[in-house]
Structure 1
């Protein structure tokens, strides 16, 4: 059946599923059913150029690979060995937290409150696990967001920094360096190189070299960073960073900065305060809130945004921090007392102040409320009574009767503290402000404020110089006047006559014992205040009058001790000293000086409802103007003038200096109950009948080189003539007076 119709049978089911078996080759004789084997495919011929390029690529790759892996191995060995070396040299964390070469000075006011810092302050060691969580997060968010995942360096951070620098036209590593926190700590540690005074000119040069950037510096930082990552935990690296970073205003470390700016520990700062502190890391001096608070807050807002972006703050927390920016502490807000602090630093030994390697605490006499009163009074008078753009300067000192300085302003610009202090460093002629010491000498010798002196033309023959003829400020003569009138009207001729009567040497002795010791003039012009003194010396000398006639040494330092010690190293070195004049003489002089303010040249210094005594002073050509005086509670001195000795225009001691003094004392005495001054009012006396009966009439001196031309007494007594234009002859006298430095009121 299969072959009946000549057709092949259909395939079986299995054949259809798995395929039919291959047919068998037929067997048989030669050639029966044979086929020729297929010819092998012919190989395509390669392009010779392609072959050459391929060969060159393989050659170059072989060379690069052969050299590269050897170089990589060598670099790896060098880095590894360097890292191991640094690892073996790294000390314990506790030895690295305080990196200062100098110590700090913290100053406390009379109530024990901090008002100034000098040097580099270090608040003590803090650890990253105890510091405020907000501060830790702010630092990581700002400086190194991958801090917890890298091994000391961040290739992504470096690549990003290179891209930013090139885009801004800088070198690849100029500007943004892409440094991790670990690398920044390596810089703070100066790669383990300690400060050596023999190698570096100063600590500043040493630190500048430590902070230097560049490719080679980055290369050197790598093994040190690896060593730190191997030696310390991440928490310990952060601890070193938190303690060594400089954060402006002399604060080294976050604890010192938190205390400096906010008056609290770094463990307690809130998100806004933490952001402000972290923002200082970029440029400490530029972003310091004591330098520019608004700029510091702007930087803090950027940090708050980074903290929110990286999940450290919720949206609500970030908004709250932005709405409530960090507030400076009262001590940080105030720039008061800078000149005072500078003066105290000079008064102590250098090895415990300017050059201290220890942390020092100085308790001072400063009263911050009085300091602010003095500063604001000076600023207000200049703002309302001095022409805009004036370069005239002024200084103020306020002290107690024992010489304890309560306030000091060394110039109009408070931020210039640290520079020239006109209260303590400017030696200026005192003018008529010197006259109280003339009358102090006379009163101590038994004179009375009611005694008379002849205000008439006087010529003194000065050996080696010839005749010297002083004149009063108004060029008038009043005849016989009392000592009280002579002082309150600041008359020059009576001052000279009294000086000659009691003896110049005695006047110089009294003045020097009261504290004025800078080359007091030897000639008769001594009486007109041609000698120089500082405002601090003059104010201290007047304090001696207030306290009953005993000298005082002005002082600001009460106690100096090392931080953490209870026992002081230095105690108070100033205060009341030896008696100079009798108490009676001091109280009589106080009465005479109250008349200066009540009816004399100092009436603009009157204090309503409070007794005050003082004296004006103006030097030749008005180069200096003074007002120094006191109440029962405080002594204050004011100086005004130009640093280059340019004459003041229309200013005398009874003008602007008296205005400043009055404003200072009004504010200083707010809330202080008025007290009477310790004074004695003398019995009045009848004028003598002739000039020969005047106690201060010319008497022979041991030099015999002067004569006075007496003049009959006048009935005008205590009047002060109105100024008039000088005659030609008087102008000649004025010119001569100018040569010898005649004083004014």
Structure 2
């Protein structure tokens, strides 16, 4: 045996153990790691593609039957015509290549698909910048024959198409099809297949060279059809090649495979983070709790409504839909996408001021503590609450006051002053603990927020706020939101009692009452759904945030509308901002199965109630109706017999002055001496007033002077505050000073509109 043959045998003997150590087809397929993660819906549909590997673009593993027949034909014609005939090595082609090299002539090359696959599976046989060495070629040859014996031909071709590098960072046919052509591998036509095959031989060649080679492959693909019919003319072939060159220029310049694409980018990132935090290998697919049809409808509804609000400086929004029973997230829309200037900000998790959306929890606490009933009368009138930092003067959304109203009306119509008076009864500390029990992440202490907590001065994300409403839907029972990753087996939520069951039910009954909300929203409001639903809107300071959160028998829906930058909206109210989106979602959710009102708990009492007339009037404050009560708080008549002196005054400790005994001496009862009034630059000055009150109110001839100048007459007078230190005097008709106090007004920058 000659020396050359001995060298070949020796190299083969050395390479054989390595070749026999090649993985199986199943091992290769399991080890395939796409550069993206597919986030799936609960139905198995792809909601989002998230790129997780920035070094390469590698798509999902594509089974051979899912690859277009044109691509398989083009690849075999270009790379390995006798693929189904040889045993891994095409000795005929190898002999032709050797003969060509001897005579310095160009040939097609002798590397088969199987040999190329061997190089892709083992770096030892992969071609370097200077080509393969003799040992590498021998090892690749042995490995190819081993692969051909251990793998089926269809497995070899399938693995090759999924592992072969194409152009730049693109690896595998799925990445190529989506990047260059914007479609799946099964949709590639003959010209696209020819272009893909041309890239294998020269992945980084100039476009003209790739197009020329693709044209040659495409012409060869026409030979088989021509055998059974008329072959294309030369002119037709030239025209098709021109079109193919145009396709090559367009395809090789596009990058139609962004880092993230789909309808749930923020939820997808949340699911991926949960998978990584839980020690779960994300792999290629993540099954979530999201519903694909609902997610698409939520995105469409948000986008459509924000387009309708163009011109009112509204560009962002967020939507969340929870399943009441399981706590699973069914829809998660974090932003308005292309309409937003900050599309990456997740509005479901961003901190925003909740406005009036905290009121249901406040009234539920007052009902549970038996401080109020749904029929109790509270006064919606100017109020000044003395605090260590000055006077807190709450205002209603429409800057108007409704007088004496029932709790049902105060909550449903979202009146601010009665809510603050209710918080005075409950106390900020107790309400703070109630909100914490509902899972709301308050960043500051109760003392920091003070009485403004009743009007939503804290900052909260949409996710825990919507879940707190879900607790009301579940009769006051709270449980955390279920993970976005769907568990293989259903996990029962761990409920804890956060709100009294009867109080939660009454609050839901109030928020579902269209007549109770008519004082503010009218009788034909968008909040009036076709089937039962309870809903509350909210607007934060200066119209920076607008909310609509509510629940039906099966779902809780939360919607936020605003600007991620915090810029105020223009003329966007509770019913024109988030409410239409909320209503559209509720109608979609219950299009086939109407929502039914929940049954009242056994502990509640239902009783007909009547209301007396207001002070100085003969008409009843509200129409008679049947009302629900926590057992032990029911009564049939609610009336105001007389208004106690000092009833408008509230002290720093939050207690109403309810002393009905007439004071012997005339004095100023509000504001408190030494009060510091802070002007709010976001409220127009014509809507900011300090109310001075004297007691007894029946005293005749009362006069008011501000810094020595006449201010007004009567027991009450309103004053437009002006920065500085001021002396306020109460006099009788003769000008004698009956009482005097000093106050200070701070804040010179009042915005005028």
In structure 2, C-alpha distance between the alignment counterparts of 1:613 and 1:630, rounded to whole Å: 5
2:693 matched to which residue of 1? none
Q: Deviations over 1:401-441 (max 9, x none)?
A: 2222211111112899x973524321111111111111111
For the 8 Å contact 2:383–2:417, the answer to whether it is kept is yes
Q: What pairs with 1:556-571 in structure 2 (closer than 5 Å)?
A: 556-557=483-484, 559-560=486-487, 568=488
In structure 1, C-alpha distance between the alignment counterparts of 2:443 and 2:160, rounded to whole Å: 55
Greater share of residues in strand: 2
Q: Deviations over 1:255-286 (max 9, x none)?
A: 9999999xx999xx587499669849959xx9
In structure 2, C-alpha distance between the alignment counterparts of 1:224 and 1:693, rounded to whole Å: 102
Asked if residue 437 in structure 1 is aligned to residue 361 in structure 2, the reply is yes
Cα root mean square deviation, aligned: 5.6
For the 8 Å contact 2:115–2:140, the answer to whether it is kept is no
Q: How far off its partner does 1:491 sit?
A: 1.9
Q: Deviations over 1:280-311 (max 9, x none)?
A: 9959xx9xxxxxxxxxxxx99x9899456335
In structure 2, C-alpha distance between the alignment counterparts of 1:654 and 1:192, rounded to whole Å: 68
Secondary structure (helix, strand or coil) at the match of 1:138 reads helix
Q: Deviations over 1:521-564 (max 9, x none)?
A: 5122111101111111111111111121111322254644xxxx
1:493 matched to which residue of 2? 417
For the 8 Å contact 2:550–2:556, the answer to whether it is kept is yes
In structure 1, C-alpha distance between the alignment counterparts of 2:627 and 2:723, rounded to whole Å: 35
Give the one of 244, 253, 259 matched to 2:163: 244
In structure 2, C-alpha distance between the alignment counterparts of 1:257 and 1:616, rounded to whole Å: 48
Q: How far off its partner does 1:350 sit?
A: 3.0
2:686 matched to which residue of 1? 726
Of 269-278 and 528-537, more deviation after overlay is shown by: 269-278
Secondary structure (helix, strand or coil) at the match of 1:460 reads strand
Asked if residue 460 in structure 1 is aligned to residue 385 in structure 2, the reply is yes
Give the one of 459, 465, 471 matched to 1:538: 465
Q: How far off its partner does 1:667 sit?
A: 2.5
Q: Which runs of 5+ in 1 are unaligned?
A: 1-72, 164-176, 194-209, 287-298, 323-332, 561-567, 713-722, 740-745
2:244 matched to which residue of 1? none
Secondary structure (helix, strand or coil) at the match of 1:429 reads coil
**Quick one: structure 1 residues 334 and 492, their matched pair in 2 at CA, closer, same or farther if it must change by over 3 Å?**
same
Give the one of 324, 328, 331 matched to 1:401: 324
1:140 matched to which residue of 2? 76
**Quick one: structure 1 residues 391 and 727, their matched pair in 2 at CA, closer, same or farther if it must change by over 3 Å?**
closer
1:92 matched to which residue of 2? 22
- Aligned residue pairs: how many? 569
Q: What pairs with 1:607-618 in structure 2 (closer than 5 Å)?
A: 607-618=528-539
In structure 2, C-alpha distance between the alignment counterparts of 1:444 and 1:738, rounded to whole Å: 39
Asked if residue 577 in structure 1 is aligned to residue 502 in structure 2, the reply is no
1:633 matched to which residue of 2? 554
1:599 matched to which residue of 2? 518
1:668 matched to which residue of 2? 589
2:225 matched to which residue of 1? 314
TM-score (norm 1): 0.62
1:227 matched to which residue of 2? 139
In structure 2, C-alpha distance between the alignment counterparts of 1:145 and 1:687, rounded to whole Å: 97
Asked if residue 191 in structure 1 is aligned to residue 123 in structure 2, the reply is yes
In structure 1, C-alpha distance between the alignment counterparts of 2:745 and 2:493, rounded to whole Å: 38
Q: How far off its partner does 1:520 sit?
A: 5.3
For the 8 Å contact 1:397–1:423, the answer to whether it is kept is no
Greater share of residues in helix: 1
Q: What pairs with 1:297-308 in structure 2 (closer than 5 Å)?
A: 306-307=217-218
1:448 matched to which residue of 2? 373
In structure 2, C-alpha distance between the alignment counterparts of 1:516 and 1:157, rounded to whole Å: 78
Q: Which runs of 5+ in 2 are unaligned?
A: 84-89, 204-209, 233-239, 241-259, 601-605, 607-625, 629-635, 661-682, 691-719, 725-743, 748-753
For the 8 Å contact 2:358–2:455, the answer to whether it is kept is yes
Q: How far off its partner does 1:481 sit?
A: 1.9
1:203 matched to which residue of 2? none
Who wins on radius of gyration, i.e. which is larger? 1
In structure 1, C-alpha distance between the alignment counterparts of 2:100 and 2:400, rounded to whole Å: 84
Q: How far off its partner does 1:80 sit?
A: 12
In structure 2, C-alpha distance between the alignment counterparts of 1:414 and 1:239, rounded to whole Å: 38
Secondary structure (helix, strand or coil) at the match of 2:384 reads strand
For the 8 Å contact 2:319–2:333, the answer to whether it is kept is yes
**Quick one: structure 1 residues 259 and 621, their matched pair in 2 at CA, closer, same or farther if it must change by over 3 Å?**
closer
Of 134-143 and 147-156, more deviation after overlay is shown by: 147-156
2:750 matched to which residue of 1? none
**Quick one: structure 1 residues 151 and 428, their matched pair in 2 at CA, closer, same or farther if it must change by over 3 Å?**
farther
Give the one of 521, 543, 553 matched to 2:480: 553
Q: How far off its partner does 1:690 sit?
A: 3.1
In structure 2, C-alpha distance between the alignment counterparts of 1:381 and 1:500, rounded to whole Å: 38
